[in-house]
Structure 1
Amino acid sequence: MTREDFDEYCRSLPHTTHVVQWGDASVWKIGGKVFTVGGWNETEDAFCISFKTSEVSFEILSGQPGCRPA
């Protein structure tokens, strides 16, 4: 997923707002609270996404390829 794809998807969700902060990270909020952040990871040389999730979803996602705790 590219940054443009990420921003387009987040923009399509209801009630979202967007700011660029923390060294050019694309930060998406609902009701003023961050729910996802996307940005370039120099170490991995890739666009990476972090998002909030429930404990159950965290356990499921942690076992998926390409997913790791933030």
Structure 2
Amino acid sequence: MEEVVGQDDRNELAWIWLATVAINANERRDYLRRVLEINPRNQRAREALSRLGDESTLRPSDIGGAGRRT
């Protein structure tokens, strides 16, 4: 997968896959953040980052459960 993202650094699926095999939480966060740079609406990446405690992925409308799922 690293070769895939080396050839196409906007391959969202490859970055998701890399996040699933990351060796630590920091690496996983970096990969998931890259997914959100490519596609800010990627709910899978947003939820995974939230589980890792990365509040920077929350939109203001998400606070208090008022956010709309996309």
Q: TM-score, normalised by structure 1?
A: 0.24
Pick the structure with more helix per residue: 2
Q: TM-score, normalised by structure 2?
A: 0.24
